[in-house]
Structure 1
């Protein structure tokens, strides 16, 4: 049983203001929204709708190709978890396989900048204009994310540029996701319930379908809001805020229409140690390394990485279960 949820809308235009008072006003609004629900909408002068539409056109053209063409860039062939994700590749915990396909990219890194899982050169399809428009969108939303990191620093009573030094080479990932048309769709999940692993996520979608688990253990719909992006808190920001902000479990239900969504998951640098930065209470979380946590959680989800674990080729260190963060009601997942 679901019901619409009125999420807060935060105008982040003031984060670009020269006046500290304007930036603090946005920081306070972010703080309230993240403490109350962990899910919100953001709007503001920073958002460029033209880039969203260019990315949508590229995604439609890419996913319309035949399966053999798309599988040439299968993510399991990449060195840094980049490329095409076929339907059924992902599975959260013991849930059924996700009914979606995707294309994943990160920030292109040269090998000389250090070898880490999730870091390296992207895998790009042989499609004119695809790389250029995807990179433009990635850069645009990354800039917005960096402003939001400064807003969070103010909200958590830190120096405003506290996170700047830890955003040099983050394994922040952009996912182009396609939910194919299913005229026989029933009102059941199309992507398993989960929290996001990073600090926060910025999402642009073309249709409804997203649901979140509220504090009463009920699944509630997240409608689209014209001119706004959806934002949610992830595991790492829950830790950084020492539990003031909770990573909210969410899922995508099957809907009777084709759907595209573009999520950029914002993380700190791979080797940055995520630990509570709020000092008014005793730490409630053990520290973990940003990239290591992200890779461990990813490896528990993707079939090609699960196969490497099963064969002994890949061994995870200090991995926590996928459902370790955010409030949850086990009965609500049924």
Structure 2
């Protein structure tokens, strides 16, 4: 499903006023012997289980990690301004994801949105819990799991390891209603974030519809029926923060999974960590400034009769730096029935209920296999 690549000044002071209290959040940085800026984490903003000791790292290791992150990347790249249908089909069949350039979103908006989200993450964990958990606001806060209920709350599940992630879940349908978002909090930060999301959401809807319609043409699907297979009204954004962890090999930022969406569109910082499973091995997806990563979800795989693939992916944590990202998800319309020669007819609500039941009882998602038509039938 991130930093914007720009370093703040030596110290950044952000003052937030909430219910007549003054919260001061200070992000400070120092330099290692190579002159590389190193941001000191605001541990109070982390969930308690994440508040582990962050030891100083060896500068030599830091340089090595950075260089490894920028090796040659085989992920296919597509230009939205002149979308090549043949290349799109190849990427969807063989990868289940691709990099998108010339998408028309201003880089200033992409970086601004990540920066505003980072300011929200900088609130203390207790403040985030108080404002965005079990409240009637549309925005919800979660941590430790990417699995959420339809309302955006973290899904109770069978015991398993914690995902090293926290995030905000933001449905886009009522962004114009200030009272629905952030419980009507009168704060410039909340308002600016809401307005940025509103503009960003319009770009995401445009991009998702353009890509999906191209896929429909490639697959020779009924354009009338397929129109309801992707509904912009279902669009939501999740912003994620992956705390750095000195023992990065012992934790995953996000566990191995496929998305349940039709399409997911990722805007990430330059830290890296997204990996996809292809040809029986994990491949690092290169973070390239200004580009987006589009991956196909389970709904797209079913719509395409398994011609296109829902990509299996995960997120690795970084031992030196936090990772931040913004991901847009879009789904079939309410009540839209997905019909496929390989699956029993089902709606996204049917699929979502089955997935949530499996996560609660088994601890993991089974997904499309639950709806597969038996070859013996």
TM-score if structure 2 supplies the norm length? 0.66
Larger Rg over CA atoms: 2
Give me the whole-angstrom Cα distance separating, in 2, the residues matched to 1:133 and 1:258. 22
- CA separation in 1, counterparts of 2:357 and 2:134? 11
Aligned residues between the structures = 281
8 Å contact 1:170–1:268 — kept in the other structure?
no
Counterpart of 1:243 in 2: which secondary structure?
A: coil
Corresponding residue for residue 275 of structure 2: 211
| Shift, 1:72, TM fit | 2.4
SS of corresponding position for 2:117 = helix
Listed as ranges, the gaps of 5+ residues in structure 2 are 1-68, 146-153, 370-377
Q: Measure the CA separation in 2 of the matches of 1:92 and 1:47.
A: 37
Structure 2 equivalent of residue 237 of structure 1: 300
| Aligned 8 A contact 1:4 1:220 in 2 | no
Structure 1 stretch 288-297 or stretch 58-67: which is displaced more? 288-297
SS at match of 1:141: helix
C-alpha displacement of 1:325: 4.3
Which residue does the alignment assign to 2:316? Answer: 253
| Residue 33 of structure 1: aligned partner | 91
Among 268, 275, 300, the alignment partner of 2:339 is 275
The answer to whether the 8 A contact 1:153-1:161 is kept is no
Give the 3 Å change call, closer, same or farther, for CA 125–294 of structure 1 in structure 2. farther
Match of residue 49 from structure 1: 107
Cα displacement (A) at 1:226 = 2.8
**Is 2:173 the partner of 1:108?**
yes
Cα offsets for 1:299-331 (capped at 9, x unmatched): 655xxxx5xxx9xxxxxxxx9x713349xxxxx
- Per the alignment, residue 153 of structure 1 pairs with 216
- After superposition, the Cα gap between the structure-2 partners of 1:178 and 1:325, relative to the gap in structure 1 and judged at 3 Å, is same
Aligned counterparts of 2:229 and 2:367: Cα–Cα separation in 1: 24
* Pair 1:289-2:347 in alignment: yes
C-alpha displacement at 1:130, in angstroms?
A: 1.9
Write the distance in 2 (CA, Å) between the matches of 1:75 and 1:274: 33
Q: Please show how residues 1-334 of structure 1 align to structure 2 within 5 Å.
A: 6-14=74-82, 26-78=84-136, 82-87=139-144, 89=154, 95-109=160-174, 126=185, 127-158=190-221, 163-165=226-228, 167-168=230-231, 170-186=233-249, 188-206=251-269, 207-214=271-278, 216-256=279-319, 257-276=321-340, 283-294=341-352, 296-297=354-355, 306=360, 322-325=365-368
Whole-Å separation in 2 of the counterparts to 1:106 and 1:249: 24
1:13-46 CA distance string (max 9 Å, x none): 135xxxxxxxxxx232211100011121111142
Looking at structure 2, the residues matched to 246 and 168 of structure 1 have their Cα atoms a distance apart, in angstroms, of 20
- The 1:78–1:293 alpha-carbon spacing in structure 2 relative to 1, beyond 3 Å, is farther
Query: Hey, what does 1:332 align to over in structure 2?
Result: none
SS, match of residue 129 in structure 1: helix
Any idea what SS the aligned residue of 1:251 has? strand
For structure 1, the 5+ residue unaligned runs are: 16-25, 111-120, 277-282, 311-318, 327-334
Contact 1:100 1:179 in 2 (8 A): yes
CA RMSD of aligned residues (A): 3.1
Deviation at 1:187, TM superposition (A): 6.3
For 1:34 and 1:157, the matched residues in 2 are separated by 15
